[in-house]
Amino acid sequence: MVNLSPDGNTAGTAVESQTEGFRRASTDQQEITLLMPGSLIVSQLAPYPGWDTFFGRFQRDWLSWKEAVSYNKVSRVGIRYINRIDIPATDSPIIMQEEYINVGVQAPDSLGPTIAYASQAVFGLPAIQSKLVVNTAVVLPPPIPGYASFLIDLDLGREEGVPQRDDMIFALLGQMRTEKNRIFEDCITDKARDLFQ
């Protein structure tokens, strides 16, 4: 996602009650692009075709959109990955999220197992001068019968010292992807990895 500031100044920007924009999607509704005067969002729903295919599409859309709206100062560059982990619930109706995910809520054992939760944590990523927002939650009801599902939502973004040149924006997005991969691996356990085999 890339956000633009029309006057080059992000401070004190008013929020409009209605956003003018366009949503475009592929025939199968898996590739989505949101075009707005101040932002471009390119999304891919499952199945994910891989970074090279997705990033090539983003570059194409970015260059076309930039040509259409002319130059505006880029105020935010970011990537967001929403991952769902589906766990067979055959042994027990209660799945201990901490057996699969290293982020979430911590509660005293006296309360018993967590039935549902949602949590958010914000971290600095000084190596890429960015911020990370991690959201985790139980998906209710589970989308697959007989399974328990958890979300790990990773949103990395830079709002200060944002590059303005295309090559630098593209390089930053690549660095964010590398960090996202590392963070995702840190957020899951070996038991979760076994599910992906």
Helices (H) and strands (E) in the chain, counts: 3, 8
C-alpha distances (whole Å) from 26 to each of 42, 44, 59, 91 are 12, 10, 17, 40
Identify the band that residue 93 occupies on the pLDDT scale cut at 50, 70 and 90.
Answer: low
Percent of the chain's residues with pLDDT above 70:
89
Q: In this predicted structure, which of 87-91, 92-96, 102-106, 180-184 has the lowest mean pLDDT?
A: 92-96
pLDDT of residue 2: 58
Identify the band that residue 50 occupies on the pLDDT scale cut at 50, 70 and 90.
Answer: very high
Q: Whole-prediction pTM value? A: 0.85
pLDDT of residue 3: 60
Mean pLDDT of the region 141-151: 91
191 or 13, which is more confident: 191
Q: What single DSSP character describes residue 141?
A: S
